[in-house]
Chains A and B, each alone.
Chain A
Amino acid sequence: MRHAVRIFRAEALKQHRRVFGSKLVIFSMLVWPLLTLAQSYYTLRPLAAAPGIAERWPLAADPERLLAFLATGTLGFTFFFSLVQSAWHFTFERQTGTLELLFLSPASRLVVVVANGFGALVQNTWLFACFAVAGFTLLDVVRVAHPGMYAVVFLAMLVPAVAWGALLNSLLIFSRDAAFLYTLLDDPMWFAAGVRLPTFALPGWLRAAGSVLPLTGSLVVVRGALLDGRGAGELAGELAALALLSAVMLLTAMMALRLGEARAQRTGRLGFF
């Protein structure tokens, strides 16, 4: 256990030093999410004035609550996309040859990929998360059933996000081209996970595709708890599904690491890029 904690700390510290090298990081942490939020809010705002919207989507009838809905979406997307970014950065380890060194070391592979994701997550999201919390307080839109729900909301974003990061990172043991992950999981992810629209607006096949993305489940819990005031009991089904999904992602990550390493040992391709 102490071994794992030390690897975890080292990997997270490495992330911190890498990401915080320049002040420009403020752009990806705060400015981009804010501008995206403004754009999606103004694009959807005309629809909020549609007659009869209160029956179809009560939340959108009030511009402030629509903004809060989109802000939770942006927050969730920032969480999960920062892990896509971290996985993309993981390929630089391959290019600089440190990925091979990592696999020569006795460090537990799973701990390394989990720590890598966790480090990136904390680095990249704390600023926008603080901003979002301040925004919710100012708009006065949050209705929680119980103060403990804040902890539930936090965990419902953190745990699946870390598992998701571990999965993406472990897949890169196989692939030499990570840029495709970036393209594949940027726009399609926000679209299928209901970041800018409620999931009932999506067609069935798209909802089915989105349901395998952990972001979808996280957003249901976050919005249910913060904006609709639902308690842990009411969200139990969603929470259980998220826990299951996280476990599956972690198991897949472990398997991918094992298979990938065995293959790399056989073919010697870990050093190629």
Chain B
Amino acid sequence: MTVAWATLRRSWLVTRRAYPWSYFIGTLLLGVFTMGVAYLGLRAVAGDQVPAEFAGRVGTADYLGYIAVGAAAYMFVVHGILWIGKAMIQEQREGTMGALVVAPARRLPYLLGFAAFAFTAVALEVAVLLGFALLLGVRPAATGAVDAVLAVAGLALAVFGMSVVLSNVMIVAGEAHITQNTVFQAVAVLSGFTFPRDYLPEALRWLGELIPVTAAMDVIRGVFTGGTGLDPARLGVAVLIALGYAAAGLLTMPWAERRAMERSF
């Protein structure tokens, strides 16, 4: 707990003083432009009419609301991975990984501290994006406060699980640019943020099931756009896969750290 709290405080301090805005602006622009394309497309191209076929698939005729929730969730995922997944490689690049390895701090609270930082920072971003969505006339609504909290918690857990595994991949490969961008693009297509997943070919739909974020997104959809409420079965799936990822990541972390340290000498 001390470690998590200290990491959270450190991250906020560093971000406020040293590099404040680049991730913030980058991910926010992505969300804003995704919404912008949907808005202009609906206005000018579709003549303000949402086709019945889409409404039938997703259970709502609110195309913009659908995109807004997806864009906000996507921002949440991207930003979470940028901070939690990149925490270790950042230490490696700055030359402090050796100190971290010998320090009497465990990795789980350390990463949880980063997660707490990422999710508090991204809350700001999502608020700005939803403010923008309100300007465009979007009114996303949850089916209930408890549902909303559980759905967001599920997504956060899914992001955390993925980040732990990614963190290992990054320090072993000694590379973050290709890894992170490939993951972002793949998740954008496979997990159905801005379109219903049943558009995808069947093989890709199954591939998506391997990513914890996919099931978590289905829960978010039920609560924030479909109006069908919380789906406990999908939430269970998301939590299980996420915990599986986190456990696998934490178990292989000592090996990954050894590899990374050996290579750096």
Hey, which bits of chain A sit against chain B, CB under 8 A?
A: 24, 27-28, 31-32, 35-36, 38-40, 42-47, 49-53, 56-57, 60, 179, 183, 186-188, 190-191, 196-198, 200-203
Q: Give, as a whole number of angstroms, the nearest-CB distance from B89 to chain A.
A: 15
Partner of A197, one of B22, B40, B188, B200: B40
Q: How far is the CA of A196 from the CA of B40 in the complex (A)?
A: 11
Is the beta-carbon distance between B186 and A35 smaller than 8 angstroms? Answer: yes
A-side contacts of B186, CB under 8 Å: 35
A-B contacts, 23 of them at CB < 8 A, read A28-B178, A38-B189, A39-B185, A39-B195, A43-B67, A44-B41, A46-B195, A47-B63, A49-B54, A50-B46, A50-B51, A51-B49, A52-B49, A53-B47, A187-B29, A190-B33, A191-B36, A191-B37, A197-B40, A197-B41, A201-B40, A202-B40, A203-B40
CA distance A200 to B200 in the complex (A): 29
Chain A facing B: main interface SS: helix
Of B30, B33, B194, which one neighbours A42 at CB under 8 angstroms?
B194
A65 to chain B, nearest CB (A): 13
Give bound CA distance, A201 to B47, whole Å.
Answer: 10
Known contacts A42-B199, A45-B195: A188-B67 contact under CB 8 Å: no
Q: How far is the CB of B138 from chain A (nearest CB, A)?
A: 15
Residues of B within 8 A of A40 (CB): 37
Tell me if B38 counts as interface (CB < 8 A to partner A).
yes
CB distance from A28 to the nearest CB of B (A): 7
B residues contacting A by CB (< 8 A) are 22, 25-26, 29-30, 33-34, 36-38, 40-47, 49-51, 53-54, 63, 67, 175, 178, 181-182, 185-186, 188-189, 194-195, 199-200
Q: Give the Cβ gap from A103 to chain B, nearest Cβ, in Å.
A: 28
A50 contact set on B, CB distance < 8 A: 45-47, 49-51
Q: Are A56 and B51 in contact (CB under 8 A)?
A: no
Contact B41 A45, beta carbon cutoff 8 Å = no
Q: What would 11 more interface pairs be, CB under 8 Å, given A31-B182, A43-B38, A43-B67? A: A27-B178, A32-B182, A35-B186, A42-B199, A42-B200, A45-B195, A46-B51, A46-B195, A47-B46, A183-B25, A198-B44
Q: In the complex the two chains form, what is the Cα distance from A51 to B52 in whole Å?
A: 10
B81 to chain A, nearest CB (A): 16
A39 to B175, CA, bound (A): 25
B194 cross-chain contacts in A, Cβ below 8 A: 39, 42-43
For residue A184, give the distance in angstroms from its CB to the closest CB of chain B: 9
CB distance from A48 to the nearest CB of B (A): 8
* CB-contact partner of B47 in A24, A43, A56, A188, under 8 A: A56
Q: A187 and B33: CB pair below 8 A?
A: yes
Residues of A within 8 A of B50 (CB): 46, 50
Nearest residue (CB) in A for B181 is: A32
A60 to B49, CA, bound (A): 15
Q: Is the CB of A56 within 8 A of B45?
A: yes
**CB proximity of A197 to chain B, nearest CB, Å:** 6
Structural contact, B185 and A46, CB atoms closer than 8 A: no
Contact B189 A57 (CB under 8 A): no
Q: In the bound complex, what is the Cα–Cα distance between A188 and B25 (angstroms)? A: 12
Residues of A near B25 (CB, < 8 A) are: 183
With a cutoff of 8 Å between Cβ atoms, the chain A residues found around residue B45 in the complex are 44, 47, 50, 53, 56-57, 60, 197-198, 201
Q: Give the docked Cα–Cα distance between A45 and B42 (Å).
A: 11
A36 to B34, CA, bound (A): 12
What is the distance, in angstroms, from A96's C-beta to the closest C-beta of chain B? 17
CB <8 Å contact, A24 and B29? no
Minimum distance in angstroms from B52 CB to a CB of chain A: 8
CB-nearest residue of chain B relative to A203? B40
Find chain A residues with CB under 8 A from B175 CB. Answer: 24
A46–B22 Cα distance when bound, in Å, is 33
The 10 closest A-B pairs by CB, nearest first: A201-B44, A50-B46, A46-B54, A35-B185, A49-B51, A42-B195, A47-B46, A43-B194, A187-B29, A187-B33
* Given the contacts A39-B194, A42-B194, A50-B50, A197 and B33 also touching, CB distance less than 8 Å: no
For residue A227, give the distance in angstroms from its CB to the closest CB of chain B.
16
Given the complex of chains A and B, what is the CA–CA distance between A263 and B25 in angstroms? 31
Q: Which residues of A contact B40 (CB under 8 A)?
A: 197, 201-203
Closest chain A residue, CB of each to CB of B67? A43
A46 to B182, CA, bound (A): 25
Q: Are A56 and B37 in contact (CB under 8 A)?
A: no
Q: Which residues of B contact A60 (CB under 8 A)?
A: 45
B26, B29, B37, B63: the one within 8 Å of A46 (CB): B63
Task: Give chain A nearest CB distance to B249 CB in angstroms.
Answer: 22
Residues of A within 8 A of B44 (CB): 56, 197-198, 200-201
* A45 contacts B199, C-beta separation under 8 Å: yes
Of residues B30, B44, B53, which shows the largest number of chain A Cβ atoms within 10 Å of its Cβ?
A: B44
Q: Would you call B53 and A46 a contact (CB within 8 A)?
A: yes
The answer to whether A188 and B33 touch across the interface, beta carbons within 8 angstroms, is yes
Q: How far is the CA of A263 from the CA of B65 in the complex (A)?
A: 51
